[in-house]
């Protein structure tokens, strides 16, 4: 009997690629998205398309019940739906902050509580949460997004221990930058909605150029992430995190395998402000503060 996965955010990007990957692997798939009309992945007798806004608890319950009616039970839930945000924190409205956490953090919480009750009765189940490279190595101008993903990442690491005796495994997928998902592009498209003070404009431009620039390493694809999601679903070990992308692997190395001093120096070099190519942020290993030098 085929296993069943419920996947959120299946209209595009990681969610769409994951739904297609699970179908290719012979799974039943409950592909959920805000507007079912946005699904363009074809039809299958092993596929159920269902409306789901992850911020709506009633829709969460309805999607779950529909999946169980169709396939008998759900074995894996993959929380992939999310939204990005690139903006200076100072002028980001609290409504926007709450929206980030409602979609990226609290939505998965609601889905997890629904899944846990179901999995506990069955005696097994897998919860997969998609976080982000920036939940471990936070990027500037993405502070609220970083925080929403870091909260989910930290929560996942914690709750896995209390769920293990119930036969429920928790896994985390941490992708690096994946240009084909257009997450950053969509986030930048919202910049006109945000007041950007003159003091921030140069740095915003610098970060935009960074995301458009070539990288000295291979960036992951949505399909790479989907493969990691499937691998995590099948994994019965205690492994928690799947790092996807050479850029994220390097960031994890700098964060965990170097000294705090080395990490701070590297992060200033990686993310620090440049001023017309003349001034750059530098870390002086003999001093406790970072400074601008020219």
* β-bridge mates for residue 170, sequence order: 127
In the DSSP assignment, the letter for residue 33 is: E
Euclidean distance between CA atoms 180 and 196, whole angstroms = 27
Helices and strands counted in the chain (H then E): 10, 10
Catalytic residue list contains 283: no
β-strand pairing of 4-7 with 28-33 = parallel
* β-bridge mates for residue 275, sequence order: 279
* Residue 6, CA distances (Å) to 112, 203, 232 in order: 11, 40, 14
How many CB atoms sit inside 10 A of residue 173's CB?
Answer: 24
Euclidean distance between CA atoms 269 and 282, whole angstroms = 7
Question: Catalytic pick from 145, 200, 263, 283?
Answer: 145
Euclidean distance between CA atoms 265 and 281, whole angstroms = 9
* Residues marked as catalytic: 145
């Amino acid at each position: 009997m085929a296993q069943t996965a419920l996947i959120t955010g299946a209209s595009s990007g990681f969610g769409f690629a994951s739904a297609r990957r699970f179908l290719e692997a012979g799974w039943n798939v409950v592909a959920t998205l805000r507007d079912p009309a946005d699904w363009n992945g074809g039809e299958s007798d092993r596929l159920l398309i269902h409306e789901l806004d992850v911020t709506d608890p009633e829709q969460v319950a309805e999607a779950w019940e529909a999946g169980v009616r169709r396939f008998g039970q759900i074995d894996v839930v993959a929380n992939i739906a999310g939204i990005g945000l690139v903006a200076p924190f100072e002028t980001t409205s609290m409504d926007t902050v709450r929206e980030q956490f409602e979609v990226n953090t609290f939505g998965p919480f609601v889905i997890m509580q629904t899944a846990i009750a179901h999995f506990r009765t069955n005696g097994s189940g897998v919860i997969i949460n998609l976080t982000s490279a920036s939940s471990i190595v936070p990027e500037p101008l993405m502070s609220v997004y970083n925080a929403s993903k870091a909260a989910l990442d930290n929560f996942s690491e914690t709750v896995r221990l209390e769920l293990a005796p119930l036969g429920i495994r928790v896994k985390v997928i941490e992708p690096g930058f994946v240009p084909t998902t257009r997450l950053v592009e969509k986030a930048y498209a919202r910049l006109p909605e945000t007041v950007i003070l003159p003091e921030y404009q140069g740095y915003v431009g610098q970060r935009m150029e960074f995301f458009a620039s070539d990288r000295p390493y291979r960036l992951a694809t949505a399909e790479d992430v989907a493969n990691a999601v499937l691998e995590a679903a099948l994994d019965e070990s205690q492994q928690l995190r799947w790092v996807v992308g050479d850029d994220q692997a390097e960031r994890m190395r700098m964060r965990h395998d170097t000294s705090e001093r080395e990490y701070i120096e590297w992060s200033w070099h990686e993310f620090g402000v440049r001023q017309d190519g003349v001034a750059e942020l530098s870390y002086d290993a003999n001093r406790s503060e970072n400074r601008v030098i020219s």
